[in-house]
Copies of this chain bind each other. A is one copy, B any other.
């Protein structure tokens, strides 16, 4: 009859906190019930309540002021709560999000390359272009990796590697003939510093995959 008590207390409290916020129409900036009151209402110890509150505070969803009280974060509480619940429930993000994020990093790398002369003039681009022209073994991942590496943001590179590892399943290795053109346009545009054209070529290329 009762819900599963299996989950950890502080997660249940986070969930109940969200329900409480919605029920009582607590607006961003408003004060939340005090920790001690929440203990009573949620039938939990103060330690557990605090674990939940501190978690939400680290996420930036609430703000606690010593001696003052606990408040719902200033802006956009309702939207945040929705996001939050999805985190709690561990609803896993779609493959789409992973792809979109990876492509975001790739596009940004292309933009950076286009904007910097030293990067545009790297010999690697000619090399890649020639390999594509000759239909040699050119792996998509290699091309994109070169871009992200060239862009010089190591954090972005690390993120990209992880994202790529995760989304590799649906990617074929070799570059097909139909992709050849868009790919070469991409590289040439990059070398010329034509950001818009490069991005457009990239989008067209990605669209084929």
Chain A residues within CB distance 8 Å of chain B: 10-11, 14, 47, 50-52, 54-60, 73-81, 83-84, 86-88, 91-94, 97-98, 100-101, 104-105, 107-108, 124, 127-128, 131, 137-139, 141-143, 145-146, 149-150, 153-159, 161-166
Contact = CB atoms under 8 A, between A and B. Distances in A.
B84 A162 contact: yes
A154 B83 contact: yes
Identical copies in the complex: 2
Contacts of A149: 76, 79-80, 83
A100 B153 contact: yes
Given A75-B139, A75-B142, A83-B157, 4 more contacts: A11-B58, A76-B145, A78-B93, A86-B154
A61 to B, nearest CB: 10
Contacts of A54: 10, 51-52, 54-55
8 contacts: A14-B58, A76-B124, A77-B92, A83-B157, A84-B158, A88-B155, A101-B155, A107-B108
A86 B161 CA distance: 14
B51 A154 contact: no
A59 B60 contact: no
B154 A77 contact: no
A193 to B, nearest CB: 17
Contact of A139 (B50, B56, B74, B80): B74
